[in-house]
């Protein structure tokens, strides 16, 4: 008797579970109302995991918005007269390197910049050094040469207008751009 009940209960539970997991075709044309049980990645935002989906929740990963390094940005800042890659930017560089090693068709251009002080050509070369600091780090982390290029805009393309330290600090930078 116990065994029968056990089997019956199992069958019942199975029936419930199966009923719950029945897949509903999204293009059902029979006008039967469709109940969508899960939200999968529809391109918006990271971490849009609605917790209430229980055992079948899926967290979307949006590569188109650089979501892989969400919150890390794509700009590295430098001290005056320096092209040293500071530790605080290692996670950002790491995340780009991971993306490049995961997909060998991806390419990144690193654009180096300086603040407005000093000569144009010398600053072009300083910006180049900043860009190369970043590409060297990417290469050490596994990116191949053909995936990375370092270029410079020198002082020709400031991010922020102004002639004070606040503006200068925002212009001494390298930007990582997928191309």
Partner 1 sequence: MIVIVPDSTTRSTMHNIRRLAQHRSARSSGFFHAAFGSLLLIAAALFSSKASAQFRVEISGVGATQLPIAITKFRDEERATPSLSISAIVRADLERSGVFKGIDAPGALDENSQPVMTEWRGRAADALVAGSITRLADGRFDIRFKLWDVVKGTPLGGQSTAVEAGDLRLAAHRISDYIYEKLTGEKGVFSTRIAYVTKGGGRFTLRVADADGEGGQVALNSAEPIISPAWSPDGKQLAYVSFESQKAVVYTQDTASGARRSIANFRGSNSAPAWSPDGQTLAVTLSRDGGSQLYLIGRDGGTPRRLTTSSAIDTEPAFSPDGRSIYFVSDRGGGPQIYRIATGGGNVERVTFGGSYNISPAVSPDGRTLAYISRQGNAFRLYTQDLAGNGQPQALTDTSDDESPSFAPNGKLIIYASRAAGRDVLMTTTLDGKIKARLVSTTADVREPVWGPYGR
**Residues making contact with partner 1 (CB under 8 A):** 109, 111, 118-122, 124-126, 128-129, 132, 149-154, 156-157
Which lies closer to partner 1 via its Cβ, residue 104 or residue 120?
A: 120
Q: Minimal distance in Å, beta carbon 129 to partner 1? A: 7
Which lies closer to partner 1 via its Cβ, residue 29 or residue 179?
A: 179
Q: Minimal distance in Å, beta carbon 23 to partner 1? A: 47
- Distance between CA atoms of 127 and 111, rounded to whole angstroms? 8
Neighbour-count burial for 66-84, b at 16+ CB within 10 Å, e otherwise:
bbebeeeebebebeeeebe
Q: Are 43 and 70 in contact (CB under 8 A)?
A: no
Which lies closer to partner 1 via its Cβ, residue 72 or residue 151?
A: 151
3-state SS assignment for residue 8: helix
* Entry field: residues in the chain: 179
Q: Minimal distance in Å, beta carbon 32 to partner 1? A: 53
Distance of CA 9 to the CA centre of its chain: 47
Q: Minimal distance in Å, beta carbon 68 to partner 1? A: 23
Which lies closer to partner 1 via its Cβ, residue 95 or residue 114?
A: 114
């Amino acid at each position: 008797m116990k065994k029968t009940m056990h089997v019956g209960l199992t069958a019942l539970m199975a029936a419930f579970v199966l009923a719950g997991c029945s897949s509903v075709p999204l293009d059902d044309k029979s006008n039967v109302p469709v109940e969508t049980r899960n939200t999968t990645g529809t391109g918006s935002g990271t971490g849009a995991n609605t917790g209430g989906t229980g055992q079948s929740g899926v967290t979307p990963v949006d590569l188109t918005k650089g979501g892989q390094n969400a919150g890390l940005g794509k700009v590295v800042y430098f001290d005056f007269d320096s092209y040293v890659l500071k530790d605080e930017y290692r996670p950002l560089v790491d995340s780009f390197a991971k993306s490049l090693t995961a997909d060998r068709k991806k390419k990144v251009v690193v654009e180096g910049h300086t603040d407005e002080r000093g000569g144009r050509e010398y600053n072009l070369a300083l910006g180049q050094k900043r860009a190369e600091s970043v590409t060297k780090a990417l290469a050490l982390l596994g990116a191949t040469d053909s995936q990375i290029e370092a270029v410079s805009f020198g002082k020709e393309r400031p991010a922020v207008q102004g002639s004070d330290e606040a503006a200068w600090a925002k212009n001494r930078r390298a930007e990582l751009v997928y191309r």
